[in-house]
Structure 1
Amino acid sequence: MNKFSLNGRVALVTGANTGIGQAIAVEMANAGAHVICASRSGCGQTLVKIPGAEELHLDFADPMAAKDVFQNRHVDILVNNAGIIRRDDAVDFTETDWDEVMDVNLKALFFTCQAFGRAALKRGSGKIVNIASLLSFQGGIRVPSYTAAKHGVAGVTKLLANEWAAKGVNVNAIAPGYIATNNTEMLRADPARNQAILERIPAGRWGDAEDIAGAAVFLASDAARYVHGTVLAVDGGWLAR
């Protein structure tokens, strides 16, 4: 089991204040990593769960917010979890909502990977885990910019793996299924949508944030050293249906 240990590693998790990001941060700490919790609103609740963790303010409304983070700070593992969502019919979707989602969910993710990669490539080691989505594979409903961005996350993950795999840097992604978080609160509150979603999930339940955390630890560990460019669905069987 030592291959799954993160002892001695430093992990930076974006969007670590709640939901999936918080669960990943906690589980990486449990696996032995020193965790840096990044968000735009503060990670107080997460820090309570992880004694000794650091906090870092990053607001990806500026896609270049992390461009200098890795210059004087050693980080072994980067988890790009921060993201936002906007919902509306495609015919009514605004340019503002399009741009805000694309900036946070895709542009910021790429340039954060770039900044991390510059440092990781010099030392010949590093792990990136991007948080993609089922909508990296499917179209979804009423979330055009989110769908476009998450398709982009899958593509960027594969591109970076192609360029960096031989240089000691693993780049992979996780595609969460329907997880009970703030982002899905509106869906769970809609009886018809909630029922339709549950009927489609072979596991018969919404996922928990902790269901994603174990996959993140695996991809960040030596157990996944030969895993490159994968978009791992953790979805209760949704895509198999």
Structure 2
Amino acid sequence: MITGSSQGIGRSLAEALAGAGAHVVLNGRNPESLSQAARELAETSASVSSAAFDVTDADSVADAVAEIEAERAIDILVNNAGIQRRGPLQDFKDGDWRELMSTNVDGVYYASKHVARHMLVRGRGKVINIASVQSELARPGIAPYTAAKGAVRNFTRGMCADWAASGLQINAIAPGYFDTPLNAALVADPEFDAWIRKRTPAGRWGDLKDLHGIAIFLASSASDFVNGQTIYVDGGITTVI
């Protein structure tokens, strides 16, 4: 099950995991967008279904997980659903703060808790959280997002501490700057685009396919002794000054 997978990183990871042989359950809040994504993925011969629910609604998450588990075990959970809100910290709207935290942190908590309850009984499971370079770095205008993604990184460690002994592996992927709908305004800004290309040792924005290999690795038995880690896929941006 991949939360927030009707577009962007979630959609691309769905393609990768389906291509590696997984049945993928897509998730999103908009039933129409979700159905379209499922149809398009099915056209590639992928095994796919969908579950429309809001990760910020604890009861909806619990109900959806129970329904999915009644049909098939959730062996892999990808916590990808997330939003971005930008603005000067001193002027940041309280409602935007709560919305950002609710989606980017509470959503990870609700989905992980309800899925893990089943995984713990089976003694196996993979949880992959989508963190960010902002789990490690900060830049002006996105302090709340940085706080949220920092929480995801440490929550990954906390889940490992609680669940690793029961056979679960919990890790995070931290993408750098990728050309996604979430970053569309930044990609379209010539000044920011030039800054990213200069700041990133690889000299480019990330392509969504750059995330496929690490996702398949963390979802497979190849990563059975990898736990509590945040793996940066960022073209080297976190390694240089």
Q: Same fold (TM over 0.5)?
A: yes
Residue number in structure 2 paired with 1:177? 176
Q: CA deviation at 1:105?
A: 0.3
Structure 2 distance, partners of 1:63, 1:188, is 34
The one-character-per-residue Cα deviations of 1:99-146 (angstroms, maximum 9, x if unpaired) are 000000001111210111111001100000000000000122211221
Distance 1:131 1:216, change over 3 A: same
Distance in 2, Cα, partners of 1:207 & 1:238: 11
Give unpaired runs (5+ residues) of structure 2: none
Matched-pair contact (CA < 8 Å) for 1:22–1:46: no
What residue ranges of structure 1 are gaps of 5+ in the alignment?
1-11
Count of residues in correspondence between the two structures: 230
Q: Of residues 20, 43, 46 in structure 2, which corresponds to 1:31?
A: 20
Aligned to 1:18: 7
Q: 1:71 aligns with which of 52, 55, 66?
A: 66
Name the CA distance, whole Å, in 2 between partners of 1:93 and 1:229.
32
- Contact kept, 8 Å, 2:53 with 2:64, in 1: the verdict is no
The aligned residue for residue 197 of structure 1 is 196
- Aligned partners of 2:189 and 2:61: how far apart in 1? 37
Rounded to whole Å, the distance in 2 between the matches of 1:162 and 1:61 is: 24
Q: With structure 2 as the length reference, what TM-score do the two structures score?
A: 0.92
Say yes or no: does 1:56 pair with 2:51. Answer: yes
Aligned-partner Cα distance in 2 for 1:145–1:62: 21
Could you tell me how far apart the structure 2 residues matched to 1:65 and 1:152 are? 23
Q: Which amino acid aligns with 1:26?
A: E
Q: How high is the TM-score relative to the length of structure 1? A: 0.92
- Normalized per residue, the structure richer in helix is 2
Partner of 1:157: 156
CA distance in 2, matches of 1:210, 1:218: 14
- Native 8 Å contact 1:174 1:234 kept in 2: yes
1:130 aligns with 2:129: yes
- State the distance in 1 between where 2:41 and 2:104 align: 26
Give deviations 1:26-81, integer Å, cap 9, x for gaps: 11011000110111123213431234310110223425531233335121000000
Instruction: Give the letter aligned to residue 91 of structure 1.
Output: Q
Percent pairwise identity: 40
Residue 45 of structure 1: which of 37, 40, 49 is its match? 37
Deviation at 1:97, TM superposition (A): 0.4
User: Over aligned residues, Cα RMSD in angstroms?
Assistant: 1.3
Query: What SS does the aligned partner of 1:97 have?
Result: helix
- Distance in 2 (CA, whole Å) between partners of 1:132 and 1:64 is 24
Q: Contact 2:81/2:107 (CA < 8 Å) preserved in 1?
A: no
Do the aligned partners of 1:71 and 1:119 also contact (CA within 8 Å) in 2? no
2 CA distance for matches of 1:47 and 1:172? Answer: 29
Counterparts of 2:39 and 2:171, CA distance in 1:
26
Alignment-mate amino acid for residue 118 of structure 2: A
CA deviations 1:200-222 (Å, max 9, x no partner) are 11111100112112211110100
Residue type at the aligned position of 1:49: L
2 CA distance for matches of 1:177 and 1:203? 11
